[in-house]
Structure 1
Amino acid sequence: MNTILLKRDYILLYVLLAIVYVSGMWIPLMENDSAQHATMAMRMYLENDFINIYKGGNDYLDKPHMHFWLAALSFKVFGISQWAYRVPALLFTILGAYSCNRLAKEFYGNKAAHIASLVFLSGQAIFLSNHDVRTDAVLTGATIFGIWQFVLYINNKKLLHSILGAIGVAIAFSTKGQLGVFISGVCILSYLAYNRKWRVLWSWKIGAAFFAFLISISPVLYAYYIQFDLHPEKVIHGQSNVSGIWFILWDQSFNRLTASGFEKTSSDYFFFFHTLLWAFLPWSLITYMALFAKLKLVFITRFRYIKGVEILTSIGFLLVMIVISFSKFKLPHYLNSLLPVISVLVAGYMVQLFEIGKKNIAKIILGIQYFVLTSGSILVLFLIFWGFTMPDIGIILCYLFLITGLCYVVTKQMNVYRKLVLISVYFMVLINFCLNTQFYPKLLLYQAGNNAANIIKTENINPESVFILAGKPSWSLDFYTNRITPVVTINEITKTLKNGDWLFLYDYQLKDIPEDTISWSEKYEINHFRITRVSASFINPNTRDGVLEKAFLLKYLPK
């Protein structure tokens, strides 16, 4: 066999991965960011205002518009729903996988193409970004698409590739600012430097690409100009005379690097390097092995160009990691847009092991994969069956089917390289199908906002009669009632609420309401926990009640 994967192998894995991704489309949205972004896009759609972005009652000056525009457009086509909100993320993930496939083929040939896309699609952070949807899925797909197209331009000098590359980078910019531009720029410059192809920059086609980039980002710049630059009286983060255009072109990125206006999250310069260990499971170990092997080769040859060698996925990746490691505001999902780059690196490394016959290394990696992924699967299944109620019989049968298939692959005699890919992807399918169909849905039973919305629906409460007490927003309540819930302070309750209106609030807020002047005719009590910060005491059913908050939906009765 002169290839690692058979056609039936990658078709099966793509089908299984598709099932997992689709199963995550119906998980309720998590607070804060995912439900918040969905609510902001919903407001665009409901008010038919695609220029202004609002977070609650305030102008929003942080992420640019593209993610919200795409979600609002999806709502226009499919209606307001959690799965409709996730459609753009899934489409850009598919684009990212295809771009990985083509870029790997460009660098390492057909053997690496499907491995790269399978590596990308089975990375843990990519699964997460498709159900806990923020800006990262769109950013990731657009960034690797732009990189792939610019590599094709450098190699083939065709105008179409330079234009498409510019559009890809522009979409990345319009989704999260300069991060996508920086990643694309560093990777492409490293590719140019190693291949000594600087002359391609001195072409009218690059000028055309720059013009295409400016045209593509102009809608975002225009929207910022209308919302902020034309209104110097607006006070944003305690300042007036704020320029939206200057913010997105400069301030946003450097404010995050210095944590200006943000709470400093980590001073650990190795934060992203060890975060990669879980974010890119099951490929993180192989990533570091591939990175070491590539760096060793480049330094031994003193950066002399060798045909068939590329450093975009190694030196380019490493340079970006070093720069963002100096940021004082770090979050794990900042890594996402680098994952397709190292997916190509991993695919190339595995093909090289295969071609030079390094079976011993592949066997060691396979043994480590067995240990890590078996441990992870046992942990996930334990959490599901111990921490929460038993799954439905249909779901249990699906788990048994996947486990049976996994046992078949484990016991079947085959090439060690083929088994390494099959086992790694199959384990991640099992783990994330279990998480999507049981763990996350059970977790969302403890998020008060969406459960309050369920009560409003099942009890035929008019959503227009619901208010929320100021102090703590509930984005999931807004999204699942399809409206921006009006906010009232304690002093405004008797002036704003009418007999029969409802108030949503949390237990610590209820204690501050004077019982002698305000009363309630009906009360619904709802369990609540910050589910994006799961703790051992919450997972443990014996200690869960002790860490739960309470939220309430109260029917107002004037005294």
Structure 2
Amino acid sequence: MAQDTLLSNRQLIFLYIGFAIVYISGLFIPLMQNDSAQHATMAMRMALNNDFLNIYKGDNPYLDKPHMHFWLAAVSMKLFGINPVAYRIPALLCLALGAFSTKKLAELLYGNKNLGHTAALMFLSAQTVILSAHDVRTDAVLTGFVIFAIWQFVKFIKTQKLVFVVLAGLGTAVAFSSKGLMTLVIISFSVFAYLLYSREWTRFFNFKIIAGAVSFAVGVSPMLYAYHHQFGVDGIKFILLGQSVARMTGDGFAATNSDYLFFFHTLLWAFLPFSLLFYVGVFDRTKFFITSKFKKKIGAEFLTLGAFWMVMVVFSFSKFKLPHYLNGLIPVLAIFTAAYLFHLYRNRENKKIKILWIIQLVVIFTSIIGLGLLINSFTGIPYIGMYMLTAVVFALLLYRIFGTENLFSKYAYVSALFAIAVNLFLNTQFYPVLTQYQGSIKLAEYVNSHRLAKQNIYMLTNDEAWAFDFYTKQNTPRIEQVDLKPGNLVVVYDGALKDFKRPYEIVSSADNFRITKLSLKFLDPARRPGQLSKIYLIKIKG
């Protein structure tokens, strides 16, 4: 195999097909509470009310994340109906854009198409990216357009063509309209890191960049107009500054995190199965730039490594941290990791890849044991065809582990194949069973099957069950307990029911668990009943 080729065309096609099946299978997983179901309900309100200027969380104005994700989801629902697939389609398309942009930027930086494909596959295999395609929040839109904007900015620097800086500005605008200033941090640090090493300052800072600024301003104007329409000047101040300051200081958030290494150890699972290779590469290439005194060398680039260090340092000082904040950086990390693997391959660093391979095998077989425990914990085969396909992919994975191809290619291929096998199982066998513990969906199914009058159903204020809203396809009114009338139906969690003062009868009930916060006690079948709560549909008596 040539030194500029790590994965054969047959391997590339197989892996792309495998990831396509993984991502498409994720479209059909029931929505998870809280954030994904909440965001779906907020987009549903836009679609049902034909109101795209006002954004609400339940009955309350929502002054937090910008509109773009909700707009795209709402448009999709207008086209394809109120269902989980329609909600997820925009996220899937944005991640496809992210994979394509990752490939093209890698090719632009390194002049190697095989490296570009490898980077795209590493992006698609990242566990946090796969999660973002079915546990959909704002991150998929952010991720796709962040890397698209970076690619277009670098292309503009290299070619000086006006069209690319205009596209870069528009891509930045869409990313900004999905999550706010954090997107500008990733994009600007990436471009700055590229210029810092390439020294092409004048090719960026010239009169043509004005066109990029104008296209950015045009691109964000719908979002700013919507904020001003609903919240006035305070809304614009919030998205331009207040939102990011609040997250950095932790002001207004229930939980803060002072762990400055939070994002560094989060990447260990978020960038699986290539996180170990990535971190080895970070320390190796950081040493290279230090020892070379940052002198420009042919074949080297600083965009990916520089962006990683700068973004991680800034994000680490934030008082409010969540794992998915890193998603927008994953495409950059994928390019860096692919380039580093090619670097090891070209320089025949066999000892290093052998050590990495042994550790990767430990990760793979430990994960397989973990999946075996999950099978023991959650019985049932929801989709027999996908069950058989998953078994075949796992068999192929084990077969390829003992193959005789060179270790560099095997590391890349087996690791990606591992990501496909694991997520096929999770998407088609684990999550469909796990989501049955979301009682709000069970109650929605009861209401739909018994054709209860939905206009007579309420929720207590601040006791929301978002998935119930979405699966009954209505914005269930929130109400205070004292305002309920005899005959009203109320969705209520057991915690609120304990303090209920009105006479009632139970119409239906379901076990409930916050499945996005799994615990060992819940995963243990013997201890699971003690971890479950209840959600009820009750009827107010006279």
- TM class by shorter chain equals over 0.9
> Is contact 1:112–1:351 with CA below 8 Å preserved after alignment?
yes
Aligned partner of 2:528 in structure 1 is 544
- 1:16 aligns with one of 12, 15, 18: 18
Q: Quote the offset at 1:227 in angstroms.
A: 0.8
Q: Deviation at 1:388?
A: 3.4
Which runs of no fewer than 5 residues in structure 2 stay unpaired? none
Structure 2 match to 1:396? 387
Question: What is the DSSP-based 3-state SS (H/G/I as helix, E as strand, rest coil) of the residue aligned with 1:130?
Answer: helix
Aligned partner letter, 1:172: A
Tell me, in whole angstroms, the C-alpha distance in 2 between the residues paired with 1:260 and 1:403: 46
Name the structure 2 match of 1:518: 503
Tell me the residue number matched to 1:481.
472
Per-residue deviation at 1:278? Answer: 0.6
Supply the RMSD in Å over aligned alpha carbons: 1.4
**Separation (CA, whole Å) in 1 of partners of 2:534 and 2:424:** 30
Aligned counterpart, 1:237 = none
Q: Say if 2:300 is the partner of 1:309.
A: yes
In structure 1, the residue matched to 2:430 is: 439
Q: Following TM superposition, where does structure 1 have runs of at least 4 consecutive aligned residues deviating by more than 6 angstroms?
A: none
**Which residue is 1:83 aligned to?**
85
Match of 1:358 in 2: 349
TM-fit CA distance, 1:161: 1.0
Q: What does residue 528 of structure 1 align with? A: 512
Question: What is the one-letter code of the residue matched to 1:519?
Answer: Y
Structure 1 residue identity aligned to 2:97: L
Shift of 1:90: 0.4
Equivalent residue, structure 2, for 1:278: 269
Provide Cα deviations, 1:295-327, integer angstroms capped at 9, x if missing partner: 111111111111221111001211110011000
Displacement after TM superposition at 1:398 (Å): 2.3
- String of CA shifts for 1:208-244, please: whole Å, max 9, x gaps: 1111100100111111111111xxxxxxxxxxxx611
Distance, in Å, in 1 between the alignment partners of 2:445 and 2:194 is 53
> Contact 1:191 / 1:311 at 8 angstroms: preserved in 2?
yes
CA contact (8 A) 1:381 1:434 kept: no
Write the distance in 2 (CA, Å) between the matches of 1:435 and 1:299. Answer: 42
Q: 1:183 aligns with which of 186, 203, 207?
A: 186
Q: What residue in structure 2 maps to residue 472 of structure 1?
A: 463
2:69 and 2:381 map into 1 onto residues whose CA distance is 37
After TM superposition, the score normalised by the length of structure 2 is 0.97
Q: Which runs of 5+ in 1 are unaligned?
A: 230-241
Confirm or deny: 8 A CA contact 2:378 2:433 kept in the other structure.
Answer: no
**2:381 and 2:472 mapped to 1: Cα distance?**
29
CA contact (8 A) 1:377 1:427 kept: no
What letter corresponds to residue 385 of structure 1 in structure 2?
N
For 1:106-145, list aligned pairs within 5 A. Answer: 106-108=108-110, 109-145=112-148
Equivalent-residue separation in structure 2 for 1:554 and 1:260 (angstroms): 37
TM-score normalised by L of structure 1: 0.94
1:30 aligned counterpart, secondary structure? coil
> CA separation in 2, counterparts of 1:325 and 1:274?
11
Aligned partner of 2:87: which letter?
Y
Counterpart Cα distance in 2 of 1:511 and 1:316: 51
* Contact persistence 2:383–2:429 (CA under 8 A): no
Q: Which amino acid in the other structure matches residue 162 of structure 2?
A: L
Offset of 1:414 from its aligned partner?
A: 1.0
Who is 1:294 aligned against? 285
The yes-or-no answer on 1:339 pairing with 2:341 is no
Moved more, 61-70 or 287-296: 287-296
Contact between 2:142 and 2:178, CA under 8 Å: does it hold in 1?
yes
Deviation at 1:144, TM superposition (A): 0.5
Counterpart CA distance in 1 for 2:354 and 2:164 is: 40
Determine the C-alpha separation between the residues in 2 that align with 1:448 and 1:427: 32
What residue identity is the alignment partner of 1:268? D
CA distance in 1, matches of 2:503, 2:378: 39
Q: In structure 2, the residue corresponding to 1:555 is in which secondary structure? A: strand
Contact 2:227 2:236 in 1 (8 A): yes
1:71-114 deviation per Cα after TM superposition (whole angstroms, max 9, x unaligned): 00101111111011000110010011011101111122223111
The residue type equivalent to 1:530 in the other structure is R
How many aligned positions are there?
539
User: Helix, strand or coil for the counterpart of 1:553?
Assistant: strand
Question: Quick check: 1:126–1:336 contact (8 Å CA) kept in 2?
Answer: yes
Q: Give the Å deviation of 1:493.
A: 1.7
For structure 1, which segment, 434-443 or 213-222, has the greater mean C-alpha deviation from structure 2 after superposition?
Answer: 434-443
